[in-house]
Amino acid sequence: MSDKKKVVIAGASGMIGQLVLEQCLSSNEVTEMISLVRKTTETKNPKLKEVVIENFADYSGQDDTFKNVDTAFFCIGVYTGQVPDKKFKEITVDYAVAFAEAVKTANPKATLCLLSGAGADRSEKSRTSFAKYKGMAENQISSLGLNFYTFRPAYIYPVPPRKEPNLMYRISRILYPLIRLMGPNGSIKSTELASAMFKVGLNGADTEILENKTILEFS
């Protein structure tokens, strides 16, 4: 059983970040929750504090925000093709690394969980921007020496209803019963992924890289 935790999360408005936030707020193990946001939300909870961040690549002046943080979740992401490649790299790599560096500065012994993706390429040679930049972010964060865990889910089935971001996801949702037949390497429910991230974030794991099958074992 873990000790009481102070947790910080970036990306709580996203599909997985929102579920991780809910788990943290409902847990007796989390005593303080910091959510980094572009603008405040209507979420009300006595242990939640929202901090508005103007630039997610620069946390200068935010030392108090990260002070005494035990666990950090980075869930900010953008779908391939939604933004130009330069912006995609900034969000995927620069935002994630800046967040990790801020956590490291405040508490070198903190645990950091990164929402990465299947196929993340740590050789950084992939011709696919998603794989290359995810691998790049993993490499840079891993080198910081934090208690680091990277989650590489395959297709994520969104349990709470949402407007699918593109045609591929609309088709995947329809075909989910068939995708499930691919076994534990092919897909994961959003609730399962969030549950696994929450548990590993508070209690750790035996391996830094968690592929889809391993994530399911923690859910």
Q: What is the mean pLDDT of each run of 10 residues along the chain (219 residues)?
A: 84 95 97 96 94 96 94 93 93 98 96 97 97 98 98 91 68 70 86 98 98 96
Range of the domain at 145: 5-218
Q: What is the CATH number of the domain that holds 197?
A: 3.40.50.720
Q: What six digits make up the tokens of 52?
A: 């508005």
Burial track 167-185 (b if 16+ CB lie within 10 A, e otherwise): eebeebeeeeeebeeeeee
SS (H, E, C) the chain: CCCCEEEEEECCCCHHHHHHHHHHHHCCCEEEEEEEECCCCCCCCCCEEEEECCCCCCCCCCHHHHCCCCEEEECCCCCCCCCCHHHHHHHHHHHHHHHHHHHHHHCCCCEEEEECCCCCCCCCCCCCHHHHHHHHHHHHHHCCCCEEEEEECCEEECCCCCCCCCHHHHHHHHCHHHHHCCCCCCEEEHHHHHHHHHHHHHHCCCCCEEEHHHHHHHC
pLDDT at residue 1, as a whole number: 45
pTM of whole model > 0.85? yes
- Can you give the pLDDT at residue 141? 98
Q: How far is CA 201 from CA 46, 70, 112, 196, in A?
A: 21, 9, 7, 8
The domain total for the chain is 1
